[in-house]
Amino acid sequence: MKLKERMVTLSRPVLGIETSCDETAAAVLAPDGTVLAETVLSQREHAAFGGVVPEIAARAHLAHLPDLAAAVLERAGLRPADLGGVAATSGPGLIGGLIVGSGFAKGVALAQGLPFVAVNHLEAHALTARLPGLVPGGVAFPYVLLLVSGGHCQCVLVEGVGRHRRLGGTIDDAVGEAFDKVAKMLGLGWPGGPALERLAAAGQPTVALPRPLLGRPGCDFSFSGLKTAVAQRRADADPADLAASFQQAVAEVLADRADHAMAACPAARVLVVAGGVAANARLRAVLAKAADRCGFAMVAPPPRLCGDNAVMVAWCGIERLRLGLSDPLDHAPQPRWPL
């Protein structure tokens, strides 16, 4: 979709709110992307259930968000009246949390007469690489994005704000979901990605596991067969070796899919890896090599900005507000909202 754009000078800070899953987060960024204050509360209430319970998540956002938002404003030395806009994740995600976060942001916008930006969570992950503090000046369009998180796994050509071309995606599980399920099989608790990475560091990738779709044309992914293979080897393999083997299989598959995506986008020069799974050091190393082989540079946000956070939401708000883009206060949050 081509958006009607009009460059606007933004002179005041933007408040960002993230509540789409189990992180309650708020951040204030200066118009140039400088982070003035940020906070992320990872809800621990879900651990006992082995996964996010939507109703519990929504109630926890409701309980914590007002204090978190007030705290970031205070730390930034700002009052709501000093803001230039409010941005909130408005999809995709769990509808209860989206209603809490976007409703709160709309309330601030209404009270202060500020523009409201309904942020697509996937676009927020996608644009994090453009934060000026990350790469001098931020990554320029177009770039190839490998978005790997708990709910999403896709390759996208990012051509501009609101301008994306999907190159491929998972046909079953998201890669973070596969990490979480394998971690659960190995008794590592939840969320499992970071724990699985730690266990893998103590093992060797010696267990033979499949590499789903490796070498096939295109940029689609599949992880359910790999997950089943891990379940079948659980009884006879050393857990650390099994974790290392799983991680290695995922790394090879992601690198192969990213190879195809880069080959399909000769106008791009940068591979951006984003989403919670991009925090994984082994995956980052393998993907950096794959990018190098294709003549691309790999850029991944620091691990703290890979998982869900409000810095990326505020930044997405800034990118949109600069183009004169904002949303009406009756904008409805959307549980499903593809890029």
Stretch 204-233: interaction string toward ligand KG4, x if CB under 6 A: ------------------------------
Q: Which stretch binds ligand KG4 (CB under 6 A): 45-53, 71-79, 97-105, 149-157?
A: 149-157
Helix (H, G, I), strand (E, B) or coil at 271: strand
Which does residue 192 bind out of Zn ion, ligand KG4, none, counting CB within 5 to 8 angstroms by kind?
Answer: ligand KG4
**Nearer to Zn ion by C-beta: 175 or 294?**
175
d(CA 334, CA 91): 5
- Per-residue HEC secondary structure of 12-61 comes to CCEEEEECCCCEEEEEEECCCCCEEEEEEEECCCCHHHCCCCHHHHHHHH
Candidates 180, 220, 256, 259; binder of ligand KG4 (CB under 6 A) is 180
**Nearer to ligand KG4 by C-beta: 149 or 154?**
149
d(CA 276, CA 283): 12
Which does residue 193 bind out of ligand KG4, Zn ion, none, counting CB within 5 to 8 angstroms by kind?
Answer: ligand KG4
Which does residue 280 bind out of Zn ion, ligand KG4, none, counting CB within 5 to 8 angstroms by kind?
Answer: ligand KG4
Q: Is the omega angle on the peptide bond into residue 212 within 30 degrees of 0, that is, cis?
A: no
Residues 6+ apart with CB under 8 A from 131: 33, 138, 301, 305, 311, 315
3-state helix, strand, coil in the chain (%, to 5): 40, 20, 40
d(CA 318, CA 32): 8
**Nearer to ligand KG4 by C-beta: 103 or 194?**
194
Which does residue 241 bind out of ligand KG4, Zn ion, none, counting CB within 5 to 8 angstroms by kind?
Answer: none
Of 273-332, binders to Zn ion (CB under 5 A) are 308
**Nearer to Zn ion by C-beta: 25 or 188?**
25
Sheet hosting strand 153-160, strand order edge to edge: 163-169, 153-160, 143-148, 270-274, 297-299
Of 229-288, binders to ligand KG4 (CB under 6 A) are 275-277, 279-280
Which does residue 176 bind out of ligand KG4, Zn ion, none, counting CB within 5 to 8 angstroms by kind?
Answer: ligand KG4
Binding flag, residue 326, ligand KG4 (CB under 6 A): no
Element (H, E) at 272: strand 270-274
Binding flag, residue 150, ligand KG4 (CB under 6 A): yes
Of 56-95, binders to ligand KG4 (CB under 6 A) are none
d(CA 51, CA 324): 39
Q: Classify residue 297 by burial, with Cβ atoms within 10 Å: 0-12, 13-18, 19+.
A: middle
Element (H, E) at 304: none
Residues 6+ apart with CB under 8 A from 73: 15, 28, 37, 79, 80
**Nearer to Zn ion by C-beta: 123 or 308?**
308
Candidates 307, 320, 326, 339; binder of ligand KG4 (CB under 6 A) is 307
Candidates 43, 120, 149, 309; binder of Zn ion (CB under 5 A) is 149
Candidates 151, 169, 203, 333; binder of ligand KG4 (CB under 6 A) is 151
Nearest to 218 by CA among 155, 268, 284, 298: 155
Q: Which stretch binds ligand KG4 (CB under 6 A): 1-9, 99-107, 191-199, 251-259?
A: 191-199
**Nearer to ligand KG4 by C-beta: 126 or 237?**
126
Tokens of 113: 């007469």
Binding flag, residue 24, Zn ion (CB under 5 A): no
Interacting residues toward ligand KG4 by CB under 6 A: 21, 149-151, 176, 179-180, 191-194, 197, 275-277, 279-280, 307-308
